[in-house]
Structure 1
């Protein structure tokens, strides 16, 4: 087995567009795990809706969640590492979303809070197996925050990205989907979280493989000894990778694992 640690994005990578794991993907992930590699799901999701995916794959242990914001052990839900910020630091972008009627949620490592829910946002959270907690004012949350997610029309998220530099927020913004942007601690990326995890396990980057499909995957793709983009990735993401595999609807993860690991 040439790779000791394999980091896999979830949505748009492991899962197809119906948010399903195919049998081919399950079989390939299990085969690589049984061959001795550590499989780490590295996702924008919360631990709470990542663990069901791990269960389907027969995995337990470490995961990188919230786009690198929290590295968590699924066995006891302990936090291994986190990049946390306060809700006060996010206040400028919270105000922007409120003023522009754009939906957002606030995420400590193991929770999710929203100020309102509509039929559309309930359906969106349902697809991702999440049930956020409804609160009257997120500014009252006194827990450490690892991610603020913003959901809207593509044009709204495009506009937010353009205007973000003048909003006055000290946190970073990363596009995590056509309809999503995430507000993060400035050091919080999947790549940095993967680097921290690899260091703690004493695994050199040349023994790491990473597969992803979107802009929030670029840092981990570039950090890994072998970084692979899905065929459904934007061109800029493909350009950051060492190789490109088939799309998430054509078992691209299975194809990559069989080509580079199960040889």
Structure 2
């Protein structure tokens, strides 16, 4: 049996309006009670993730800011492999560019972020990519479908998954990952089993070992039932 599960949050255990699936929460608790470690992995901030872990019922092991931060348990050390400086510098370039077009970029939770920059998805992500490419900015863009993130190069949920696995005393091959967005691709590739829920874009589906027939939280439930049949056949 796979010894740990890493799951994205928005779009994976929530619906498109970010309402969390109660069935997904029940499934997570079933896994936790059976001794399967569940890691919540998201583009969200640490403080958001802490509240979510407590409400859902996990031990506080998280991957936040799209791999820019990670921590083993509530009492563990918060590691910050990401670098916020180039992200902020790139954001200033983007802000000036879009201001010239009469568009104001809205930062999200800037004071609570340690490693990346997130802003409102009120612009075309492809245009942001174009500016990053043309100006040779040393960051990558991640479009979660809920926000646009800027992350330092070489940092992603997959790199954080490898580190978390080491702290757990596991190999990534012993872990399963579930996601729905482009920021989940590396995580799905690194894990022993990578699952994309049906609402995932094409690139994320291609990175997965299996794609669920259902979307959002129903897809998450479908995945855990498939790969942990002994726990969900009762």
TM-score, structure 1 normalization: 0.78
Shift of 1:21: 2.5
Higher helix proportion (structure 1 or 2) = 2
Give, in whole Å, the separation in 2 of the partners of 1:166 and 1:180.
22
* Aligned pairs for 1:1-263 within 5 A: 2-73=1-72, 75-76=74-75, 78-79=77-78, 81-87=79-85, 90-101=88-99, 102-105=104-107, 111-112=112-113, 145-155=114-124, 157-177=125-145, 180-245=147-212, 246-248=214-216, 251-263=218-230
- Where do 5+ consecutive residues of structure 2 fail to align? none
TM-score, structure 2 normalization: 0.86
Higher strand proportion (structure 1 or 2) = 1
- Which has the higher mean CA deviation after the structures are superposed, 12-21 or 207-216? 12-21
Per-residue CA distance 1:200-245 (angstroms, 9 max, x = gap) = 2221122110000000000000111100001001122111101112
> Does the CA-based 8 Å contact 2:185-2:207 persist in structure 1?
yes
Q: Alignment partner of 1:169: what SS?
A: coil
- Where do 5+ consecutive residues of structure 1 fail to align? 113-144
Structure-2 change in CA distance of 1:84 and 1:205 (3 Å)? closer
How many residues are treated as equivalent by the alignment?
A: 225
Give, in whole Å, the separation in 2 of the partners of 1:233 and 1:148.
23
Shift of 1:99: 3.7
Instruction: Report the RMSD for the aligned CA atoms in angstroms.
Output: 2.2
Shift of 1:88: 5.7
> Does the CA-based 8 Å contact 1:60-1:74 persist in structure 2?
yes
- Which has the higher mean CA deviation after the structures are superposed, 92-101 or 223-232? 92-101
> Does the CA-based 8 Å contact 1:90-1:171 persist in structure 2?
no
Give, in whole Å, the separation in 2 of the partners of 1:234 and 1:188.
21
